Structure 1
Amino acid sequence: MFPLKTTEKVETWPVVTWLLIAFNVYVFTQQLIVADPGEFFMTWGLVPGNYPRLFSTAAATDISFWTLVPFITSMFLHGGLWHLLGNMLSLFVFGPNVEDRFGHGKFLVVYVACGLAAGITQIAFSTPDGAMVPVVGASGAIAGVMGAFFVMYPKARVVSVIPIIVIPLIVRVPAFFYLLFWIGMNVINALKEMQMSFTDTESAGVAWWAHIGGFAIGMIYAAILGKRKSAENEG
């Protein structure tokens, strides 16, 4: 099932959403001319194994500008065309409404914050077989956008296409259930991957925990914003 659009209208032009899409596409075109893609991803992707003491008291001594850079750069790299298209489709569908509610500047801050949280979460739950596999993609940050949408627009509907053999089926799915199903599948797959790591089974190579971390932070930001607006209205 693929999302096409939401039923919620926007009052402002989603300039940040479109700039993010454009920048992601631009970066992908530059990836295509890199001489050594493997080395490129190891340098600019987020490699969990490079942060063995991130959650210890020694973390402060390990942190430098260059160790923090991949937390940002990894958000704009993609492993392939379908990876890019899938992420940009989700940002195109859910981004405008969330940007409309947050405002342009705050939306960008939340997007980046969710991407950072996604990276930290992925490192925290990384398995030994994935420790030196670079994590790339905007999906963690976009998961945060989806988490915010989940809180802000629970009564909205997501126009989605379900490919059935040759004839696609267009349906309107309640956003609450669509996103609940999406995050539920991520949790299930994340737990399965943890179980697989104990049996030395090769993982699927998807950053499930990054999605979960980003989604959670997006929900929290949206909930905080909702409370602030309620307080302002009451005042």
Structure 2
Amino acid sequence: MKQTIQYEAFYEQIGAINGWDFSTIQVVSEGVLWDLYTEVIHHTLPSDLLLDIGTGGGEALLSHAGAASLLVGIDLSHGMIQTAQRNLLSSGRSNVRFIQMNAEQLQFPDQFFNMISSRHAPFCASEAYRVLADGGMFLTQQVRENDKYNIKKAFGLEATEDLPTSTLAEKYLNELREAGFRDIHLKEYNATEYYARPEDLLFLLTHAPIIPDFGERATDVQTLQRFIQQYQCDQGIRTNAARFLITARK
């Protein structure tokens, strides 16, 4: 429970600052097999209604606003929604809405949406099933447990590079089946990332919940410097991005 509370406070703080805007980071990835929102839009019709769970600052949803008739982004964090509202105002989009809401209790009518996405955010399978129209699609991308394994190891956290199965993926697969979803498919990747500069990695660790309470310990900067020295190569500072994607139909 303590870690959950810390993460909620972290999301509130980061949400008010920049949402999930990591566009300033210089990073090259090798082995990325898909882009979540490209996958979502591939299954979306211009007349569809789309729900994005855990929308953060709304950057991804706004960049794909032309793909659906109405796009609704929800997030539990008040700070994230504040940032999303500012981004919406700057975008000039009229078919996007951002609402602070708990994914465990979706405040929408039954069978309201044709498409639901969830990126790196918890969701309730039964609630997603309820508000999804018959024939609609649900897609979620989540972070595998072996993501950034060498960074976690450098900071003394339990981590392994080779993870044959994801406990979180199995949990979500079971919940989706129990909710009534069909045509459920799972795919995964473990890509290599190269961060161009130390400040790129510093920004990541400061704005993403990879190392709990990063920056609050006097030794964190020294640990990061040692990590950079060990994993610096010609392409940049090497780590990994491990993800899984689940698609399901109602």
The normalised TM-score by structure 2 is 0.23
Q: Which has the higher helix share?
A: 1
Query: Larger relative CO (CA 8 A, sep 6+): 1 or 2?
Result: 1
Structure that is richer in strand per residue: 2
TM-score (norm 1): 0.24
